[in-house]
Structure 1
């Protein structure tokens, strides 16, 4: 993929991911903080304000503040910087891989920024489920992270099955 095309793709995905996540978090702060949970689609979607001091499903939230700083701000910051550098510099990435990594970096960067400005906490506000079977509370950045991870898996599958690549209409020969 041409460097200019990759940089444009990465920039658009990063800006869209961080922009959408930060905008929805600001809405959550202004509309959901100190308010009761709002339920939609028969309870399938619930909007409730939460601040998460930990990682996925609050893992590590009970760690001492200093440990959380070094783990969730310092180490994650270095990891995000390294991934972004790889994303920008690598000449081997396919467009799907670039988009996937950009989603991961964008989601990670937006949650990382939250931690910087919110005393180590991330704003979460969405919950999905039926009855008592529910997800944890999450945000748009978390959706981007999961979508990016899923696209990376898809890209890996496609790399291992070249006949399934987009644009290959011939399929396997008989």
Structure 2
């Protein structure tokens, strides 16, 4: 249990805090402004409010349906997921992977609750005409967690994790 508390303090809380802080800074410095581009257009800071899920999926649903799905149901799933990772015995790698996904989920849920159902996104990557959707720190945590989950679920990943203790 000590390692779980330590990882919550080192992974979960800082990620939620960093997500919150960067979204506040995006509102202050980017809202209503032209995008800021860096690295010859590869990285941009641009303000966007997303009422849907990833890539604005579901953004055009009626507001009450969006609330039920993206706030209520996601909140229930996140609380259930948090209880699961706290109660289930698991190694540090899998616990950290769970915390990454949950911290991103809670970061976006918190933003949705404070921002009338909208999530602030502000980062964009682009190579030529190929570009990502606009995203935030919570989204990065979720994606890293999902990549970790895929790795940990693979035969090679399970072997590597078991070898490390």
Written as runs of structure 1 = structure 2, the 5 A alignment for 1:13-162 is 13-91=11-89, 93-157=90-154, 161-162=158-159
If the length of structure 2 is used for normalisation, what is the TM-score? 0.94
Q: CA 1:68–1:16 in 2, change beyond 3 Å: closer, same or farther?
A: same
Shift of 1:135: 0.3
Structure 2 CA distance for aligned equivalents of residues 163 and 106 of structure 1: 25
Shift of 1:10: 2.5
Structure 1 CA distance for aligned equivalents of residues 157 and 151 of structure 2: 10
1:158·1:164 contact (CA, 8 Å) conserved in 2?
no
Task: Give unpaired runs (5+ residues) of structure 2.
Answer: none
> What is the aligned-residue RMSD (CA, Å)?
1.6
Task: Give unpaired runs (5+ residues) of structure 1.
Answer: 169-174
Q: CA 1:73–1:167 in 2, change beyond 3 Å: closer, same or farther?
A: closer
Equivalent pairs counted in the alignment come to 165
Shift of 1:94: 1.4
Larger Rg: 1
